[in-house]
Amino acid sequence: MEITSLTNSKVKEWTKLKEKKYRDITNTFLIEGDHLVNEALKRGIVKEIISIDLSFLKENIPFYLVTIPIMKKISDQVSISPVIAVCTKIPEKPINGAVCLLDNIQDPGNLGTIIRSAVAFNIETLILSLDTVDLYNPKVIRASEGMLFNINIIRKDISTSLKELKENNYLIYGTDVSKGTNLKTLEFPLKSAIIIGSEGKGMDEYLKKECDSLINIPLNNNCESLNASIAASIIFYEMRN
């Protein structure tokens, strides 16, 4: 189908997906660009393809040929993407393998980068606290480089998740900048779950009490702490590599 009017109802519908509220209501989200659309096609979650170019036409998937102003209106980026797709949110699976829990991560770039590193270093399950930034925020998807399609991501209350992990014999690890065991000396069992605290405050004291062990990464005295996505990635690297 061809759409040329900026006020077309489909265009309005797509534009609304920039907001979390509408992503939640419709259970869908947008992705931009060749690479991400191909990753989503592999996962079979593409509902609609929107493009200025017929070459993105796929069998059995509704296709909308649109104008550049329409692409600009729907897009989250400054430079125009050749293709945008509406996708169905990825279903959550049960907890499995090495786990990372994110407590109140606010920066979409950090969440996306953590997802990318988690896939790189074989973390199987990522649990997002209820107050962590939306997984389907366009900046998260972009920073993840499409890796959100390759890992089980669950949004769940941290306390409930910890209870479930403990019942399943997981060892819970936290991070601490001033005390804890040096990361280099730790041996992680397969059933390990690591908690990463928020950017501003680090890990909450009440969560530290839930941990079997606290991890410390020794830092130069001039530097108080690492960026949350860096700390998470270095721990993943040591855990599963």
Q: Is 79 in the site for its own copies (CB under 8 A)?
A: no
- What is the SS3 assignment for 22? helix
Q: Integer distance in angstroms from the first to the last C-alpha of the chain?
A: 48
Q: Which is nearer to its own copies, 12 or 42 (CB)?
A: 42
The neighbour count for residue 177, using CB atoms within 10 Å, is 17
Pick the stretch among 63-71, 156-164, 167-175, 217-225 that binds its own copies (CB under 8 A).
Answer: 217-225
Q: Which is nearer to its own copies, 78 or 223 (CB)?
A: 223
Q: Is 21 in the site for its own copies (CB under 8 A)?
A: no
Q: Which is nearer to its own copies, 35 or 58 (CB)?
A: 35
Print the binding letters for residues 100-139 with its own copies: x by CB under 8 A, - otherwise: ---------x---x--xx-xxxx-----------------
98 burial (CB, 10 Å; 0-12 / 13-18 / 19+) is buried
Q: Is 229 in the site for its own copies (CB under 8 A)?
A: yes
Q: What angle do CA 64, 67, 69 make, to 5 degrees?
A: 125
- What is the SS3 assignment for 144? coil
Residue indicated by tokens 């060749």: 34
**Residues recorded for the chain:** 241
Q: Is 41 in the site for its own copies (CB under 8 A)?
A: no
Pick the stretch among 26-34, 75-83, 143-151, 157-165 that binds its own copies (CB under 8 A).
Answer: 143-151
Pick the stretch among 1-9, 12-20, 79-87, 212-220 that binds its own copies (CB under 8 A).
Answer: 212-220
Pick the stretch among 14-22, 90-98, 160-168, 232-240 that binds its own copies (CB under 8 A).
Answer: 232-240
Residue 149's contacts (CB-CB under 8 Å, 6 or more residues apart) are 39, 40, 42, 43, 45, 90
**Contact (Cβ atoms closer than 8 angstroms) between residue 95 and residue 164:** yes
Q: Is 222 in the site for its own copies (CB under 8 A)?
A: yes
Q: Which is nearer to its own copies, 186 or 234 (CB)?
A: 234
- What is the SS3 assignment for 46? strand
Among 145, 176, 204, 210, binds its own copies (CB under 8 A): 145
How crowded is the C-beta side of 94, counted as CA atoms within 13 Å?
A: 4
Q: Which is nearer to its own copies, 8 or 216 (CB)?
A: 216
Can you read off the two tokens belonging to residue 205? 């004291």
Residues lying near its own copies in the complex (CB under 8 A): 109, 113, 116-117, 119-122, 143, 145, 147, 150, 184, 217-220, 222-224, 226-227, 229-230, 233-234, 237, 241
